[in-house]
């Protein structure tokens, strides 16, 4: 049995262009559930801030230059989210590694999307690494955030076959297309009370996800 729907809204943290943010904004307009109440960026020039303001969402540039240490900045960010009554924190291209204490403060309430089939290719330059490794499959993974980088319980993956003609740019674009489907879906599950994280294990509809669910090219989620 699912838990009650979550009370409180969603905050999206983004550092760049914000295409996943836009997918979340579009999904929120369609389903009326994914309540995006705040967008925060560490970069004042981030296109994500423009996207948020265009959609009428409060958008804040929280500059790291205003704090003397990374930990102090992260604490200020966490305090801001708490003050706004944020229920779920969604990382959408937020290019900072958050302090472990902050991650623990939002345990089970923070999601990230990573452009690889985790646990493969944690960290940066994932598309290049997949091509150089000769991987047969590539994609992206929605997961709960834990203090260890890109190591949280996986929820949902989008998988595509790498083709001989794939370029770095083309592969990145194909992966991004899938991200725009799976991320809003996972956010909706969480807000509906269907998705949770307990004792380091993701659960959907009360059942542990031994492996992440998988969405393929036809965009239909199937058991992984």
pLDDT tens-digit profile of 39-58? 999 999 999 999 999 999 99
Q: Looking at the domain assignment, is residue 2 inside a domain?
A: no
The answer to whether the beta carbons of residues 14 and 41 sit under 8 Å apart is yes
- Predicted confidence band at 221 (pLDDT cuts at 50, 70, 90)? very low
pLDDT tens-digit profile of 98-127? 999 999 999 999 999 999 999 999 999 999
Q: Looking at the domain assignment, is residue 3 inside a domain?
A: no
Over range 121-143, report the average pLDDT: 97
CA distance 188 to 135: 31
- Predicted confidence band at 220 (pLDDT cuts at 50, 70, 90)? very low
Show which residues are catalytic: 114
Q: Is 187 helix (H, G, I), strand (E, B) or coil?
A: helix
Q: Looking at the domain assignment, is residue 75 inside a domain?
A: yes
Q: Looking at the domain assignment, is residue 167 inside a domain?
A: yes
pTM of the model: 0.93
Please tell me the predicted confidence (pLDDT) of residue 2: 45
pLDDT tens-digit profile of 63-96? 999 999 999 999 999 999 999 999 999 999 999 9
Report the number of distinct structural domains present in the chain.
Answer: 1
The answer to whether the beta carbons of residues 143 and 118 sit under 8 Å apart is yes
Burial call 13-34: b when 16+ CB within 10 Å, e when fewer: bbbbebbbbbbbbebbeeeeeb
The answer to whether the beta carbons of residues 188 and 31 sit under 8 Å apart is yes
CATH code of the domain covering residue 193? 3.40.50.170
If one compares 108 and 3, the residue with the highest pLDDT of the two is: 108
Provide the domain limits for residue 83.
9-222
Q: Looking at the domain assignment, is residue 4 inside a domain?
A: no
Q: Looking at the domain assignment, is residue 173 inside a domain?
A: yes
Q: Looking at the domain assignment, is residue 206 inside a domain?
A: yes
Q: Looking at the domain assignment, is residue 145 inside a domain?
A: yes
CA distance 14 to 35: 16
């Amino acid at each position: 049995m699912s838990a009650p729907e979550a009370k409180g809204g969603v905050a999206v943290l983004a550092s760049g262009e914000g295409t996943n943010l836009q997918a979340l904004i579009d999904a929120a307009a369609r389903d009326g559930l994914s309540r995006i109440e705040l967008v925060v960026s560490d970069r004042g020039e981030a296109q994500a801030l423009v996207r948020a303001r265009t959609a009428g969402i409060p958008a804040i540039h929280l500059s790291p230059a205003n704090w003397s240490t990374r930990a102090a900045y992260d604490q200020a960010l966490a305090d801001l989210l708490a003050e706004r009554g944020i229920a779920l924190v969604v990382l959408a291209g937020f290019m900072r590694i958050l302090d472990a204490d902050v991650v623990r403060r939002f345990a089970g309430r923070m999601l990230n999307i990573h452009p690889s089939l985790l646990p493969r290719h944690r960290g940066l330059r994932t598309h290049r690494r997949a091509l150089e490794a000769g991987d047969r499959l590539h994609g992206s993974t929605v997961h709960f955030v834990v203090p260890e980088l890109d190591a949280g319980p996986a929820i949902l993956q989008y998988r595509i076959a790498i083709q001989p003609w794939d370029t770095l740019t083309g592969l990145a674009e194909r992966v991004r297309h899938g991200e725009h489907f799976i991320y809003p879906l996972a956010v909706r599950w969480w807000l509906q009370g269907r998705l949770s994280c307990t004792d380091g294990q993701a659960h959907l509809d009360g059942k542990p996800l031994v492996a992440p669910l998988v969405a393929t090219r036809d965009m239909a989620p199937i058991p992984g």
